[in-house]
Amino acid sequence: QTDIQEQEVSDSTTDSETLEISSSDNSESSQATTDTKVSDSEMAEQTEDKAADTQDSVQTDEQQATVEETTDNTTVERGATGNATNEVTSVSLASNGFNLQYNQAIAGGAKIMFAVWSDVNGQDDLVWYTADSNGKATAKYTGSYGKYNVHTYQNLNGKMTGLNGTTIDVPKPSAKVSITKASATTYKVTVTDVPVYITSVTLPTWTENKGQDDIQWYKTTKGSTTTYSATISIAEHNLESGKYNVHVYGTSAVTNSLTGLLGTSFQGDYAFGDVTVSASLGQTGINITMPSDVSQGMTVYHAVWSVKNDQDDIVWYKVPSNGQLTAKYTGDYGTYLIHTYGVVNGHMVCLSATSIDVPTPTVKATITKESATTYKVTVTDVPVYIDSIQVPTWTEANGQDDIQWYKATKAADGSYYVIFSEATHNLESGTYNVHVYGNSRVTNSLTGLLGTKFTADYQYGDVQVQASLGEKGINITMPSDVSTNLTVYHAVWSATNDQDDIVWYKVNSSGTTTAAYTGDYGTYLIHTYAVVKGQMQIISATSIAVPKPEVTVTITKVSDTSAKVTVTDVPVYIHDIQLPTWTSKNNQDDIKWYKATKQADGSYTYTFYAKNHNFESGHYNVHVYGTSEVTHSFVALSGSEGIDLTFNQSLTNPTVTVQNQNATNGILQVVIAETETSKDIAGVSVAAWS
């Protein structure tokens, strides 16, 4: 326990601390093990003028502590935020100074103050610091290593009371270093046990050969509070082998200067071939990669040429910093040589020699039947330098009179495919010749890759023509590959009266056509012809039935005075359904023609009311009519069993209400509304008086 004497001090505190405080020296010393200890003067000489001493003495506004008298006489104590400890004041090293923490309760109205100075030159660097309300403060380093004194005071109503005296040691900085080989041309330097007050680390590095002519200052990356690392490339040092010197410098927050921490060395073992250069075939040329640390550390060139005709096609490429480039093909297949040179001390030094083979292109092809009239050609194993594929195809008959050059489509897996139709070849059967050509970026020319054959088995009936009934006519579809590649016609007529109503329709490229109804029900015939070598050739014959229209009628009672009519099974060519409805009493004196509404399912519905038929009880007759697109006429479709509506209730009067009365303008609305059970309103008269 530190023995403290309490004394009165004036409101003006001098730079020297005059209180007598005795305390045991409880400072902690720390020592770091280094590989090679180097003096600051030696390092400064080795690294020339890079590490000039920039230490400045620390002067702050806190050197003069002002003791303020408080008018608050309360004695409430405030708890400090330090850890529960017997230590009155805790002191620890930080990156920018000492962390000071008073750990005891703080009396109400009191301030905690710290006097801090180094052992060097007495108290010439003493600085007073006032803690915050939690007892915390940060004291700056004053430029010296070694022991620092920290005395703690309470300032209560102008009375300074010594509370504690302690010390802390700021050891001269040191560190540890390890060097590992990261790749054939790089080494990783890891600096550990770096003091917390070292804020950055740099690594001056040079080879033993020729002094410091190749010195490089490497900036490190901080990994943790005490660890820094950097990767150095021997390309920055002319790819020299032998001894490399690595010194470690740190920026010290204590002295505000660059400080030598240690020096070490390692043996670089570079040999020809350590720089690995890789080559692969690309679409437009040979993709060449090399370690980017080398291409960044020196100027590098690739000399590229084909073995054919020696070096008549040699090209020199300057390598970008990322180490990647593409050397263009020079027109030859076979072996290409790649020699890599680095500029070292103004001379071209060979770093690597490699080669790559550019084979003469070959492919594989398979042919499969896709439909009755189409075939798919799939081309695989296409070299990367072939950037497009064409497939010339023709039949064996009559030479190449029907030759077609098909442009293939590239698939995601790198293969190419084309689908072609026999219609492009006059629907011929027999032997088909299929050749494969590719555009080569090696020779910049169209190159024959493969030739093959297959047998097509086209026969009459392979072209499937289908027909269905539509609203306006017969919908006819056929394979679009045929209608796209040949001129095609449909001849359409009804079986009634032979071909008196025949119509020829030219088929569009999509293969879809609508043939209008010609006025007859029954069978319609559809014959399809294609123009082949100037001649009309039949390729399909089919038919379809257009039945006379029939519908189904159901009538359901909705209420005593209403019924719902539903018409189903309505042919697609029937529209505009109407329902003539009347009572059996007095013949058709009350007939009404109701227009039914088409539903989503194709049915038609309508609800009628007895009100529209003079509220007559008895049997109601309902017939069904519609407009037919076949005959272009309004036709009777069906009768029905009708429905009986019987009701005995008294008829009601229309409802009368007064609405929207506006007394200011003298306006009101009289609303008379009919109901299902009220008679029709023939006329309205309104008598109004005040």
CATH code of 71's domain: 2.60.40.3760
Residue 422 DSSP SS3: helix
From 483, 518, 546, the end of a domain falls on 546
Instruction: Examine the domain organization and report whether 37 and 117 are in the same domain.
Output: yes
Instruction: Examine the domain organization and report whether 399 and 325 are in the same domain.
Output: no
Instruction: Examine the domain organization and report whether 533 and 574 are in the same domain.
Output: no
Instruction: Examine the domain organization and report whether 17 and 92 are in the same domain.
Output: yes
- pLDDT at residue 688, as a whole number: 79
Instruction: Examine the domain organization and report whether 521 and 393 are in the same domain.
Output: no
- Residue 342 in tokens: 């680095």
Rounded Cα–Cα distance for residues 325 and 327 (Å): 7
Is residue 459 included in any domain, yes or no?
no
Q: Is-contact 155 113, C-beta < 8 A?
A: yes
- pLDDT at residue 83, as a whole number: 52
Is residue 14 included in any domain, yes or no?
yes
From 546, 564, 598, the end of a domain falls on 546
Instruction: Examine the domain organization and report whether 611 and 690 are in the same domain.
Output: no
Say whether pTM exceeds 0.85: no
Instruction: Examine the domain organization and report whether 163 and 85 are in the same domain.
Output: yes
DSSP string, 123-174: TTT-EEEE--TTSEEEEPP-S--EEEEEEEEEEETTEEEEEEEEEEEEPPP-
From 358, 393, 410, the end of a domain falls on 358
Is residue 460 included in any domain, yes or no?
no
Is residue 324 included in any domain, yes or no?
yes
Rounded Cα–Cα distance for residues 598 and 288 (Å): 72
- pLDDT at residue 649, as a whole number: 65
The long-range contacts involving 680-684, CB below 8 angstroms and separated by at least 24 positions, are 680/611, 681/654
Distance, CA of 475 to chain centre? 45
Instruction: Examine the domain organization and report whether 142 and 105 are in the same domain.
Output: yes
Instruction: Examine the domain organization and report whether 660 and 639 are in the same domain.
Output: no
Is residue 78 included in any domain, yes or no?
yes
Buried residues in 302-311 as b, exposed as e (16+ CB within 10 A): bbbbbeeeee
Is residue 436 included in any domain, yes or no?
yes
Chunked into runs of 10 residues, the chain (690 residues) has average pLDDT values of 34 39 34 36 40 35 35 41 71 96 95 97 96 97 97 95 96 97 96 97 96 96 95 95 97 97 96 95 98 96 97 97 97 98 94 97 98 97 98 95 97 97 96 98 97 96 97 98 97 96 97 97 98 96 98 95 96 98 93 98 96 91 98 96 83 84 85 80 81
Distances (CA, A) of 361 to 381, 395, 440, 585: 9, 26, 8, 95
Rounded Cα–Cα distance for residues 327 and 188 (Å): 32
Instruction: Examine the domain organization and report whether 595 and 657 are in the same domain.
Output: no
Is residue 526 included in any domain, yes or no?
yes
Instruction: Examine the domain organization and report whether 22 and 157 are in the same domain.
Output: yes
Distance, CA of 447 to chain centre? 39
- pLDDT at residue 10, as a whole number: 34
Structural domain that includes position 284 = 278-358
Residue among 89, 85, 145 at smallest CA distance from 115: 89
Query: What's the CATH number where 376 sits?
Result: 2.60.40.10
Is residue 341 included in any domain, yes or no?
yes
Instruction: Examine the domain organization and report whether 258 and 283 are in the same domain.
Output: no
Number of structural domains, the chain?
7
